[in-house]
């Protein structure tokens, strides 16, 4: 019986070892799957981080470009009042004074200054907003008054109180306008 008991013990030991090995393999397979899952998650996070870095880089590049393009916006707004005052000065001079020999130099100087200012505006992408005869565009015009009119279509600009300006593709100052309404 001793031999039978030994054989029986060996079989039980062998069965236990097989079970332990099978459990170790299953645990190893589970661990591998767990590690593969963690690796895939780390890859996804790395891709997201790369995409976010690229987006930040693109956004900063766009902001840098906008800063360079529109850097003069504040200064240009301030210069618009200078241009307005030059135009008012010219408009205020009566025709008989414009023809007077003593005033011709002054008038010519004011006109030359206005032309030079217009030239500087053009070089920096500053342009006048078209208004008269155009339909009201709230993105470019600011309606100040309604003017009764039988000639113009309602909503059409019939009077420009103050010129509007764009800097490249952005509004620098809206045109202040009078809009036609049915008489």
- For residue range 91-107, what is the model confidence (pLDDT) as tens digits? 888 888 888 888 888 88
Number of structural domains (the chain) is: 3
H helix intervals, 70-158:
73-92, 95-99, 101-123
> Are 64 and 1 contained in the same domain?
yes
pLDDT in tens, 60-94: 998 888 777 777 788 888 889 899 999 888 888 88
Residue 9, pLDDT above cutoff 70: no
pLDDT in tens, 109-168: 989 999 999 999 999 889 999 988 888 888 999 899 898 888 888 888 998 999 999 988
Do residues 166 and 127 make contact, with C-beta atoms less than 8 angstroms apart?
A: yes
Q: Could you tell me which residues are beta bridge partners of residue 160?
A: 177
Whole-number pLDDT of residue 116: 93
Q: Could you tell me which residues are beta bridge partners of residue 165?
A: 128, 173
Whole-number pLDDT of residue 100: 84
> Is residue 92 classed as helix, strand or coil in its secondary structure?
helix
> Are 147 and 101 contained in the same domain?
no
User: In a 10 Å sphere around its CB, with 0-12 CB exposed, 13-18 middle and 19+ buried, how is residue 162 labelled?
Assistant: middle
The pLDDT confidence band at residue 20, using thresholds 50, 70 and 90, is low
Do residues 169 and 140 make contact, with C-beta atoms less than 8 angstroms apart?
A: no
Does pTM surpass 0.85? no
Residue that terminates a domain, selected from 69, 96, 114:
69
What CATH number is associated with residue 135? Answer: 2.30.22.10
Whole-number pLDDT of residue 12: 61
Do residues 158 and 149 make contact, with C-beta atoms less than 8 angstroms apart?
A: yes
pLDDT in tens, 22-61: 666 666 677 888 888 999 999 999 999 999 999 999 999 9
Parent domain of 62: 1-69
> Are 62 and 7 contained in the same domain?
yes
Residues composing the chain: 183
> Are 57 and 95 contained in the same domain?
no
Do residues 55 and 69 make contact, with C-beta atoms less than 8 angstroms apart?
A: no
């Amino acid at each position: 019986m001793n031999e039978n008991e030994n054989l029986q013990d060996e079989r039980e030991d062998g069965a236990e070892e097989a079970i332990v090995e099978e459990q170790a393999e299953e645990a190893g397979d589970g661990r591998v799957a767990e590690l593969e899952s963690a690796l895939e998650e780390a890859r996804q996070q790395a891709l997201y981080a790369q995409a976010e870095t690229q987006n930040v880089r693109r956004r900063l590049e766009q902001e840098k470009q906008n800063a360079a393009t529109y850097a003069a916006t504040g200064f240009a707004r301030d210069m618009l009042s200078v241009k307005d005052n030059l135009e008012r000065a010219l408009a205020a001079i009566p025709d008989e004074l414009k023809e007077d020999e003593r005033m011709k130099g002054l008038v010519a100087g004011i006109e030359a200054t206005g032309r030079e200012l217009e030239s500087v505006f053009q070089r920096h992408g500053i342009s006048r907003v078209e208004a008269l005869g155009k339909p009201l565009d709230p993105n470019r015009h600011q309606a100040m008054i309604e003017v009764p009119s039988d000639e113009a279509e309602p909503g059409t600009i019939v009077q420009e109180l103050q010129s509007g300006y764009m800097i490249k593709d952005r509004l620098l100052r809206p045109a202040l306008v009078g809009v036609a309404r049915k008489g």
